[in-house]
Amino acid sequence: MEQNSIGVFDSGVGGLTVLKSLIKTLKNENFIYFGDVARLPYGTKSEQTIKRYGFQDAKFLIEKNVKLIVVACNTVSSVALDYLKTIFNIPIIGVIEPAAEIAVEKTKKSIGVIGTVATIKSGKYLELIKNYAKNRGKTIEIHQQATSLLVPFIEDGWKESKILKDVIIEYFKIDDFINKIDTLVLGCTHYPVIQDLIEDICQNKVFVLNSADAVSIKVKEILEKLHIESKEKNKKQKIEIYVTDVNDTVYYLTNKILSDVLDDNEIHKKIKLVDIPD
């Protein structure tokens, strides 16, 4: 694929929620997606391991001649984004900063963040939300809750199960988390897959923020600022999807997430199995 592609990677197929938004927003761009399904979840791994996986994922995309990388993984964005930027000489964008900025704009007084253990432990959301709030002269409470069980449920195709709903409810009960907030940041790119379920549990009392659209706007701004946006108009977008493991759930989730931006018959054909990168 030519050098004008944008690379996107995640620990699994949850990052396809970001790819979907990018496809809609940047209609003249081509995309290469890499999902490291074989090694998910990243959120329970050590910082050293997350950095190593992030390096390998980015290197895979750079070898495909991408011009920009979107780290569609909150865990890697929170733990390894700065590290990746020092190694690779192309623009690399995470998902946390755009989400934090919008959360501060939307909230009345209290923001909640759910994500993997690694994302919450990193304190990156806490740091960025505090900075944005200070810059806007807002006083905001911030509450964080690790919800690491959700990714395996989503990747295993248990989206519709009562057990998953019960697990979310139990997480929200911890320290009365859900009743302390008015805005909830989905701090994992897998979570938009179950956004409707989370919104149902919140019963319209909490604004639920999916950061994918904010990331797409940020990518568009950077492409234009660096003058590396595609100049070809009205062309058919080229989308490639690579995964390190494939099963029925990968096909199911890929189809569910991308079916309104790609033809159903094309989706399965686009998924290509590759070895775990060195």
* Domain coordinates in residue numbering, the chain: 5-94+213-273, 96-211
User: Among 19-23, 77-81, 229-233, where is mean pLDDT lowest?
Assistant: 229-233
Average pLDDT across the chain, whole number: 94
Distance CA 245, CA 36 (A): 7
**Is the pLDDT confidence value at 153 over 50?**
yes
Tell me, yes or no, if the two domains 5-94+213-273 and 96-211 fold the same way: yes
The reported pLDDT for the residue numbered 199 is 96
Looking at the domain covering 5-94+213-273, what would its CATH class be? alpha beta
The domain made up of 96-211 has a fold known as Rossmann fold (3.40.50)
Neighbouring-strand partners of residue 35: 10, 243
> Percentage of the chain surpassing pLDDT 70?
99
- The active-site residue, picked from 188, 208, 215, 219, is 188
- In 3D space, the residue among 211, 170, 204 whose CA is nearest the CA of residue 187 turns out to be 211
Question: CA 107 to CA 102: how far, in whole Å?
Answer: 9
Which of the residues 26, 73, 111, 267 is marked catalytic? 73
188 carries an active-site annotation: yes
pTM of the model: 0.89
Can you list the positions of beta strands (E) in the chain? 5-10, 30-35, 68-71, 92-93, 110-115, 141-146, 183-186, 207-209, 239-243, 271-273
Pairing status of strand 207-209 against strand 5-10: unpaired
**Alpha-carbon span 79 to 35, nearest angstrom:** 18
Tokens of 15: 């990052």
Question: What strand order describes the sheet that includes 239-243?
Answer: 92-93, 68-71, 5-10, 30-35, 239-243, 271-273
Q: How many CB atoms lie within 10 A of CB 174?
A: 11
- Asked if the peptide bond before residue 41 counts as cis, ω within 30 degrees of 0, the response is yes
**Per-residue pLDDT reduced to its tens digit, 61-109:** 999 999 999 999 999 999 999 999 999 999 999 999 999 999 999 999 9
73 is catalytic: yes
Summarised one tens digit per residue, pLDDT across range 193-229 is: 999 999 999 998 999 999 898 899 999 999 999 999 9
| 124 touches 142 (CB < 8 A) | no
Average pLDDT over residues 109-133: 96
